[in-house]
Amino acid sequence: MRKLFGTDGIRGVTGTELTPEMALRLGRAIGAFFGLGSRVLVGRDVRAGGDMILSAVVSGLLAEGVKIYNAGLIPTPALQFAVREHSYDGGVMVTASHNPPEYNGIKVIDSSGVEVSREDEAIIEDYYFKGHGSRLEWRSLVDSPEVRVGLIEDYVNAIVMQVDRDEIAKHRFKVVVDCANSVSTLTTPLLLRRLGAKVISLNCHLDPEFPGREPEPTPQTLSEASSLVLSSKADIGVGHDGDADRAIMIDDKGQVHWGDRSGTLLAVHASYKWRELPRRVYTGVSSSILIEEYLKQHNITVVWTPVGSVTIARTIMNEGGAIAGFEENGGYIHVPHQYVRDGAMKLALTLDMMASLREKLSDIFAKLPVYYTLKTKIKASREEALCAVEAVKEYYSNYRMITIDGVKVFGEDFWLLVRPSGTEPIIRIMGEAKSREEISRIIDHISKFIVTKCMRGSML
């Protein structure tokens, strides 16, 4: 079966894999999906070639008689909020999120503000591979794109309404913000000023070459932000990805925390503030088992899903709601706000938690069980990645496993996940244990085992 969509949208290297010709054809397929006369909001992040790709997509949409509204440079969650709030029929966001700078991508959003379902992805793919193209009368093609303004202000206002602005402002939090040289610079500093915080910005000028750091927020890429938190005596730091739908938190001691740790704490906070929500959270298999260990103390059930915010969001919607959905990569879905991961919303909710508890962020994180996390990746074709998953299943055949997305193995004092990436030609390997030495040994051993068993590739 031919596929275009990965874990979250369509990705490719700009100009060679994701070309203007491909984007035009995609635009026609997306336009056929939404239908003649539909109203679609479009936007993009700061990546090189983004305007080229967006223009090609828009041309395809216009050729199918779609009415276009252009939001310009905008974070993905801000565009998603606008699609739902202003009753558009859909949206298209040109972004490659956390991928390296040479990548670009396309996300298709339905009227709910959530990325289209897997079933709808298949419909768009079918239009694309069949080379769909309408031959409309010229009168159907008279509309030109309209520029929309004020969407970012609307989005920031909506986030402020979700938290106790006055209580947060009393604390006059000092916040280090690493914007990754992309579109979070348009929203997060503005949001923090609205919340009465002092902003210390890093990489908050727009630059398509991402000179400050890679657009994926990790402990390695956020080392400069971590140091700045310490040197400036900030209360908290935050690092966004390229389209600002994710946020990784840095505490007052400069410790960078993965998203499943922060998500666990925020879910508990939200469960007491929004008591009407069902007492369950949804998270991908890449998240830590500490979630179950900690949340059961608060009578909150954990539902495991395949990796990907689209899957998590759609599962929450289909199963009647939740407190939250989150991922270890920093994505957090605050259900009372919108059913999509939202980096700025996550930051505001973290400040709300700190203000409510009147505790330092490092002290709040200290309440969680201690596990040590390690991640790596191996260059691999799809076939090699699938081979790796099967080899790991066989190797750990006597252990408890979850196999809904790759394979997650549970040992007595560790867990290990091996899965094909949905956006890059790599195998992702991650795990946790009670000691750094133990998880380092396990990850090193299984990585070498995979390379020997399934490929001639090399560690990245």
List the chain pLDDT tens, one digit each, 460 residues: 578 998 889 999 999 999 999 999 999 999 999 999 999 999 999 999 999 999 999 999 999 999 999 999 999 999 999 999 999 999 999 999 999 999 999 999 999 999 999 999 999 999 999 999 998 888 778 788 999 999 999 999 999 999 999 999 999 999 999 999 999 999 999 999 999 999 999 999 999 999 999 999 999 999 999 999 999 999 999 999 999 999 999 999 999 999 999 999 999 999 999 999 999 999 998 898 899 889 999 999 999 999 889 999 999 999 999 999 999 999 999 999 999 999 999 999 999 999 999 999 999 999 998 888 899 999 999 999 999 999 999 999 999 999 999 999 999 889 999 999 877 889 999 999 989 999 999 999 999 999 999 986 444 4
Contact indicator for 429, 446 with CB cutoff of 8 Å: yes
Looking at the fold, whether 240 and 351 belong to one and the same domain comes out as no
* 408 strand-pairing partners: 402, 417
| CB burial readout 31-70, b (16+ within 10 A) else e | bbbbeeebbbbbbbbbbbbbebbbbbbbbbbbbbbbbbbb
Domain assignment of residue 197, given as a range? 154-254
Looking at the fold, whether 431 and 392 belong to one and the same domain comes out as yes
CA distance 3 to 126: 9
Looking at the fold, whether 192 and 212 belong to one and the same domain comes out as yes
Query: What are the phi and psi torsion angles at 233 (to 5°)?
Result: 55, 45
The residue among 149, 166, 195 that closes a domain is 149
Among 400, 430, 413, which residue's Cα sits nearest to residue 293? 413
Among 170, 349, 156, which residue's Cα sits nearest to residue 270? 349
The residue among 254, 280, 296 that closes a domain is 254
Specify if 2 maps to a domain.
no
Looking at the fold, whether 200 and 266 belong to one and the same domain comes out as no
Amino acid type, 104: N
Looking at the fold, whether 87 and 202 belong to one and the same domain comes out as no
pTM of the complete model: 0.90
- What is the pLDDT, as a whole number, of residue 1? 56
Looking at the fold, whether 89 and 212 belong to one and the same domain comes out as no
Of the candidates 97, 112, 226, 262, the residue annotated as catalytic is 97
The CATH number for 231's domain is 3.40.120.10
Specify if 446 maps to a domain.
yes
- Whether 97 sits among the annotated catalytic residues: the reply is yes
Query: What are the phi and psi torsion angles at 246 (to 5°)?
Result: -125, 155
Specify if 459 maps to a domain.
no
The CATH number for 381's domain is 3.30.310.50
Looking at the fold, whether 89 and 49 belong to one and the same domain comes out as yes
